[in-house]
Amino acid sequence: MEEIWDAIVVGGGLGGLAFASRYAKEGNRVLVLEKGIHPGGCASSFDRAGFRFESGATTVVGWEEGLPLAQLERDLGIQFPRIPLSPSMVVLWKDKELIRYPEREKWQKEIARVFGKSKRMEWFWRFLFFLSDGLWSISGRYLHFPIANGKDIFRLLRTLRPKDILIFCASFLPFRWVLKIFGLEGKEEWISFLDEQLMITNQCKSKEAPLLTAAAGLCYPNLINTYIPGGILRLSETLVEYLEKNRGECHLKEEVIRIRKDGSESGQDLFQVVTKKSTYYSKVVVCNIPIWNVEPLLSEEIPARLHAIRRFEEGIYSAFTMGVVLRTSSLVPKSYHYQIHLSAPLPEGGGDSIFVSLSHPEDKLRSRDGVLVLSISTHVSDPETWRERGKDYQNHKQIWVDTILSQLAESLPWFRKEEIIALHSASPLSWQTWTGRKLGRVGGIPFSYFSNPFRFLSPNVLSVKGLYLCGDTVYPGQGIPAVVLGGSHLAQRLQKKEI
């Protein structure tokens, strides 16, 4: 019989790699199987036309003491490459510019400059900071969430602090109630700012967002924000390097096509993981893929609770992304991240804003030869419209590309179309082809589905011993810090046999 692995991870995204590294640290042999040519999943980089592009525009936060990336560095004894950024981003709409400073006092002054100074606004942000800090504290300390049984309730009560009770109570409230309580619900430009910030982090707007996730999402630019030299791919490569030094392996270009139960030859209760190249055996399987991609992989003898994941089908976003290489000019960008509100929404389910990330001048791999590499992303609310490459597909893409380029030229004084030396674009269909995600869905499940924290999907939602999920569609959800936290917690629970 083939070698038996302690765990096999299906999908080489950051959540799965965080699990694999953390589990390997405890002496377990872990195999990661990734269909792509690079690890990282949706948080990766790729080379084209001699330049390195990011898979999409994104920020990387979570470096404070106790937060997921800092904690993973400490646990593994590694160092991720990074360059601190300030400001975190610049938001542009109509004739306004708002600079998202990470320093809280500085940010309070900036928000007062743009929207007017008031005690209500000041206390509103203080309240959000309190909730955000509390949520990160609870998330870091408590491994057993969402609660699945009586033992989990006991573990929760054992670790609760008095302040945690307030945070849990707040988790049952909608964000719109708090806006109303503070008298901040009426101004159109203010709500537009909140809505587009929440679309980045919550995949929903202020009317639908739960209070706790909205607080964390609106305050994330006030965490330490960083640029990853060499591309965001370097995060995953660092974890792969650690894994391979600790008796683990990461196989690229090896797509999993079936997961079966198998115990006939060894007498052990094992899983059989079948790829297009080989068959592997493992005691544990962790699916680091979206919930919509799990069901087609499971053989009939695995009695999974599939109804628990089938309810998440409506209102799931995909993305339209672009990469642009620009000759630099004498005008220096104020930030390496921009959110630009569009003068009109993109057609056929397009977003109301675009998010732009720039290469850093200290990154000699990406910013060489006096060029600036831009990664651009926007939401697609109806990815089904991009399902086929029909005769109108290229025209559809070109309309979006032209609209986005015109908005960039209008909003950014240093962006000139005539200075573009390379450009590519990717639709939801491109994302589906590249990542394998159903309909190219990226960014996880909108938090509007989770009116309270107990509605989140847990890693053991399938109720099959030894078969678990991690990534952006299970708790704690979307974003690099969240998926890293989820993968790390799953590894610790498995090691302690508390799942």
Domain stop point among 209, 226, 243 = 226
User: Rounded to 5 degrees, what angle do the CA atoms 343, 446, 296 make?
Assistant: 120
Average pLDDT score over residue span 470-482: 91
For residues 151 and 194, membership in a common domain is answered with: yes
For residues 410 and 460, membership in a common domain is answered with: no
Query: For the chain, what is the mean pLDDT?
Result: 92
What confidence tens digit (pLDDT) does each residue in 14-42 have?
999 999 999 999 999 999 999 999 999 99
Question: Is residue 92 in some structural domain?
Answer: no
For residues 201 and 129, membership in a common domain is answered with: yes
Average pLDDT score over residue span 244-250: 98
What confidence tens digit (pLDDT) does each residue in 299-311 have?
988 887 777 778 8
Domain stop point among 226, 249, 271 = 226
For residues 221 and 289, membership in a common domain is answered with: no
Is residue 334 scored above 70 in pLDDT?
Answer: yes
pLDDT recorded at residue 465: 92
Quote the number of domains for the chain.
Answer: 3
Is residue 332 scored above 80 in pLDDT?
Answer: no
For residues 304 and 356, membership in a common domain is answered with: no
Domain stop point among 226, 246, 278 = 226
What confidence tens digit (pLDDT) does each residue in 429-439 have?
999 988 889 99
Question: Is residue 91 in some structural domain?
Answer: no
Percentage of the chain beyond pLDDT 90 is 71
For residues 149 and 184, membership in a common domain is answered with: yes
For residues 296 and 343, membership in a common domain is answered with: no
For residues 244 and 326, membership in a common domain is answered with: no
Which pLDDT band holds residue 263 (cuts at 50, 70, 90)? low
Average pLDDT score over residue span 171-198: 94
Question: Is residue 271 in some structural domain?
Answer: yes
pLDDT recorded at residue 151: 80
Question: Is residue 108 in some structural domain?
Answer: yes
Question: Is residue 87 in some structural domain?
Answer: no
Q: Domain limits at 361?
A: 315-440
pLDDT recorded at residue 273: 96
For residues 326 and 414, membership in a common domain is answered with: yes
Question: Is residue 221 in some structural domain?
Answer: yes
Whole-prediction pTM value? Answer: 0.95
pLDDT recorded at residue 187: 85
Domain of 486: which CATH number? 3.50.50.60
For residues 431 and 362, membership in a common domain is answered with: yes
For residues 375 and 393, membership in a common domain is answered with: yes
For residues 251 and 325, membership in a common domain is answered with: no
pLDDT recorded at residue 389: 76
